């Protein structure tokens, strides 16, 4: 039986593969994923990424989910999100749409 994965799930799988240090073939074998599907989704997600400016909160005051001051970072810097007592580190290549969806989920 085929498993349906949405764009967010494929983004997470691609990110996990990149962070695992395994090549795509080995990663797909280990997690029983189709390599052709993996490559197709990776290509599709890469083509939907747009230019994105990374930002670092240097001083902040959060009021109703609004950040008052941002400081630009180097584009190659990893993205670090802190929410409650958790930290999440994402590569700089993470798509803006994935970040937006992630932030919506965290604040709901």
pLDDT on residue 82: 76
- How many other CB atoms are found less than 10 A from the CB of residue 37? 15
Q: What is the residue range of 77's domain?
A: 55-107
Residue 2 belongs to some domain of the structure: no
Structure-token pair, residue 71? 């400081």
What would the pLDDT profile of 4-53 be if each residue is shown by its tens digit?
A: 888 888 888 888 888 888 999 999 999 999 999 999 988 887 776 554 55
**Residues 39, 82 within the same domain:** no
**Residues 41, 67 within the same domain:** no
Number of domains forming the structure of the chain: 2
**Residues 36, 73 within the same domain:** no
Structure-token pair, residue 90? 């994402």
> In whole angstroms, what is the distance from residue 73 CA to residue 17 CA?
25
Residue 42 belongs to some domain of the structure: yes
Closest CA to 8 of 90, 95, 92: 95
Least confident of 45-49, 71-75, 93-97: 71-75
With beta carbons less than 8 A apart as the criterion, state whether 74 and 67 touch. Answer: no
- How many other CB atoms are found less than 10 A from the CB of residue 99? 15
pLDDT band at 59 (very low <50, low <70, confident <90, very high): low
**Residues 73, 98 within the same domain:** yes
**Residues 63, 100 within the same domain:** yes
């Amino acid at each position: 039986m085929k498993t349906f994965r949405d764009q967010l799930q494929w983004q997470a799988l691609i990110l996990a593969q990149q962070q695992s240090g395994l090549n795509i073939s080995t990663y797909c074998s280990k997690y029983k994923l189709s390599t052709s599907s993996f490559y197709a989704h990776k290509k599709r997600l890469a083509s939907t990424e747009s230019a994105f400016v990374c930002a670092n909160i240097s001083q902040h005051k959060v009021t109703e989910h609004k950040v008052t001051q941002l400081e630009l970072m180097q584009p190659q810097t990893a993205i670090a999100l802190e929410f409650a007592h958790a930290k999440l580190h994402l590569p700089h290549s993470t798509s803006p749409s994935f970040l937006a969806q992630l932030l919506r989920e965290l604040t709901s």
